[in-house]
Structure 1
Amino acid sequence: MRFVATADWQLGMAANFLEDDARPRFHQARLDAVRAIAAIAREHEAAFVVVGGDVFESNQLDRAIVARACEALAEFTVPVVLVPGNHDPLDAASLYDSAAFASRVPPHVRVLRDSEPVEVVPGVEVVGAPWFSKRPLTDLVAGAYGPLGPAPAGTTRVLVGHGAVSTLEPDQESAAVIDVPGLEAAIAEGRVHAAILGDRHSATEVATGIWYPGTPEVTARREVDPGHVLVVEVDESDRSVAVTRVRTGRWAFATIVADLLDEADVEELAATLAALPDKERTAAWIKASGSLSTRAKARLDQVLDEARDLFARLDHWWRHYDLAVVPEQAEFTGLGLTGFAEAAVGELVASARGDHEEAAVAQDALARLYQYTQALR
């Protein structure tokens, strides 16, 4: 028995960190990923698809986003099971109860609203652990498998939930953390045969038979290898689980580490940026350290200004930005400055060598001045 496991679509994600012109492309990519999952299900002859929470970014979305999501869901030719997560819980404002969703959702799409086993295809039951609020006070997954006895003979049972697990969650005191040993015991006892979880955006094997599919399209720069779905095969003779990752993501969030000490280092960074593919679908953050002359800093600013026209976003990762500019008075000789202008440059040079807040402003002003004077030549 084969099925596709996915989670964390987060359709309607605001993506405020992207440039204005890039956001529509990012929104569309998330819908395209849903259509790609439908194609993967067909290609691999999957019996059904499960989505482990956070189908939508929130319960407060424009109806046009919901309508487009339902259009994408209509392309599936097998049952699709949605389990609400922390972004789209089954609370009083649930999007799943809205007219926008209820009037358009295709008949082969089912939202699980409790933990009763549901036969999605003959011989297969899905048990959901939906969220009813953004901050549950119990392990919802344990609440789902707890009342279950062993699956009936000839029946494969898949549990679908959402949330952090005890083996990876740093907050061990949280009552909502999913207890991995307890879930492993439920699998060993045959109460469930496989568990698919949402919330972690990187495809991760938690334990035998327990998987995070990750997000099908990247959402944050800290994610490790996002952009996949899982094709899961459960052997009907011994209930062993085999998983294959299939690539769906087309966007990339990159972190570039640059140690900048001279103009050659700046040119190396320029070459690194130029070599990145699909710039219109790439957001990049630069971890910069080192010390540059005003001339080299002016070249760096030029490189970044030109690259920003191509990337969905390009910026310094300011928490990891430790780049000093050490201007020399000689860099500004021969500009023909006299009187007040010459004195002002001297003051900027002196200020730029300091370690106070005004130093960065002075360094940037000198770099811009250097760029301007070079452009006039």
Structure 2
Amino acid sequence: MAFRFLHTADWQIGKPFGNVPGDAGAELRSRRIATVGEIARLAAERNVDAVVVAGDAFDSNEVQDRTILRTLDALKSFSGRWIFLPGNHDAALAHSVWSRLRQMGPEDNIVIADRPQPIEGWEGRAVILPAPLTRRRESLDQTEWFDMAATPQGAIRIGLAHGSVANRLPGAAEASNEIPDDRARTAGLAYLALGDWHGSLQIAQRTWYSGTPETDRHRANRSGFVHIVEIDGPDAPERVEVVPTSHYQWRQLEAEMLDGTCNAGLDALAELEAEAARRVVSLTLRGGISLAERYQLGIELEKWRNRFHHLDVEDAGLFEEPTDDDLDALDSSGFVRLAVERLKVQAASDADPQAAAARVALRMMYVDHMNGGPR
């Protein structure tokens, strides 16, 4: 009889999102728990036999008790077994989020897999072999014991681990808590459920990262999914359905100003207009722009900040190129005009260490002018 389970990881409940201030950051934190609730409902709808969480359910062992209790509440829609593996963020220390969770008296269907021993059940159809982390970085391979683990004949062997697969690392991953790339073969696993890499990825034979179910950074790594896995028998191939779960959509944009206008930057943002309230956007601007266009850009960016969930703008590579119209608008004659001309020359000089300050001064003078200040 087939064994069907949901594979997820890297919830990182309690992640602070310090770079997203105010209500927007608070909503990102709350949403991670709400997404766990969605996972519970999905597990119930699909009638899975278990949900396996391959590490880093919590962002740290210091999360508040209130956060733990809210997470437990989010699990209630699925009454089947939840298998939680301690990862590097929530390692099974003597005093950890898991020791505190146990003291709260969780439901019987919540299993904390903090010991390297088989987890049996499901009428002998499957056995889960966990490799918990007891510290943030382990020097030894925690999955080695899988190879010799005794399991009932005919049971589907499923490994559960958190770390980096040797020789198969994605380019941006760290080589920590290393796992051999042939562990599924040597241990006779039908599926090795991994956490640590935040994107959905088959990294080796029968070896999968599910990624984080709620995207949490600007990276093109196919995040925001869970896996529904079905296996017919110990030697049968896995059938993996990658199911989208992320509410927020993180996008990273770059725009080069080539014609002195702000059109390129605004056009890039306009492409994300659909479902703008769910967008977390990082926009990098480069190139030259007139003072009038820079002023207009500021107005338009503020509008987009109010529409997106969060907008972060990096404009260190954007510089002002004042036009004659810009200078005329500031002052047509006299001392101010002379000062503006000098600032313009200084701002355009690559060798002048005060060039950046000159550009800022020109911008401030123009903004003051447009806002009706003294001219």
Q: Scaled by the length of structure 2, what TM-score is found?
A: 0.90
Q: Distance in 2 between matches of 1:184 and 1:65?
A: 35
Deviation at 1:365, TM superposition (A): 3.2
Paired residue type of 1:141: T
Match in the other structure for 1:324: 319
Q: Distance in 2 between matches of 1:218 and 1:24?
A: 15
1:85 to 61, 84, 87: 87
| 8 A contact 2:184–2:191 mirrored in 1 | no
Q: Distance in 1 between matches of 2:324 and 2:7?
A: 62
Q: Please give the residue correspondences for 1:1-377 in structure 2 after superposition, counting only pairs within 5 Å.
A: 1-98=3-100, 102-123=103-124, 124-142=126-144, 144-149=145-150, 151-169=151-169, 176-181=177-182, 183-187=183-187, 190=188, 192-236=189-233, 238-262=235-259, 266-276=262-272, 277-317=274-314, 322-336=317-331, 339-355=334-350, 356-376=352-372
For residues 108-150 of structure 1, give each alpha carbon's deviation from its aligned partner in whole angstroms, at most 9, with x where no partner exists.
Answer: 11101212111142222111000000111111122x313325x
Paired residue type of 2:295: A
Q: Distance in 1 between matches of 2:342 and 2:173?
A: 55
| 8 A contact 1:258–1:286 mirrored in 2 | yes
Find the residue that maps to 1:289 and give its secondary structure. strand
Paired residue type of 2:255: A
For residues 335-354 of structure 1, give each alpha carbon's deviation from its aligned partner in whole angstroms, at most 9, with x where no partner exists.
Answer: 44665433432332222112
Q: Distance in 2 between matches of 1:206 and 1:145?
A: 18
Deviation at 1:86, TM superposition (A): 0.2
Deviation at 1:76, TM superposition (A): 1.7
Find the residue that maps to 1:269 and give its secondary structure. helix
Alpha carbons of 1:94 and 1:331: their partners in 2 closer, same or farther (altered >3 Å)?
same
Paired residue type of 1:88: D
Deviation at 1:173, TM superposition (A): 11
Paired residue type of 1:244: E
| 8 A contact 1:164–1:199 mirrored in 2 | yes
Number of residues of Structure 1 aligned to a counterpart in Structure 2: 367
Paired residue type of 2:348: R
Deviation at 1:256, TM superposition (A): 0.9
Structure 1 gap ranges (5+): none
Paired residue type of 2:265: L
For residues 212-261 of structure 1, give each alpha carbon's deviation from its aligned partner in whole angstroms, at most 9, with x where no partner exists.
Answer: 00000012112412110000001127422110001100111111121112
Q: Scaled by the length of structure 1, what TM-score is found?
A: 0.89
Q: Distance in 2 between matches of 1:111 and 1:86?
A: 15
Paired residue type of 1:282: R
User: Relative to structure 2, which stretch is displaced further, 364-373 or 195-204?
Assistant: 364-373
Find the residue that maps to 2:178 and give its secondary structure. coil
Deviation at 1:36, TM superposition (A): 0.9
Deviation at 1:270, TM superposition (A): 1.8
Find the residue that maps to 1:286 and give its secondary structure. strand
Alpha carbons of 1:338 and 1:51: their partners in 2 closer, same or farther (altered >3 Å)?
same
Q: Distance in 2 between matches of 1:25 and 1:174?
A: 32
Deviation at 1:329, TM superposition (A): 4.9
| 8 A contact 2:6–2:50 mirrored in 1 | yes
Paired residue type of 1:267: N
User: Relative to structure 2, which stretch is displaced further, 77-86 or 116-125?
Assistant: 116-125
**Over the residues paired in the alignment, what is the CA RMSD in angstroms?**
2.5
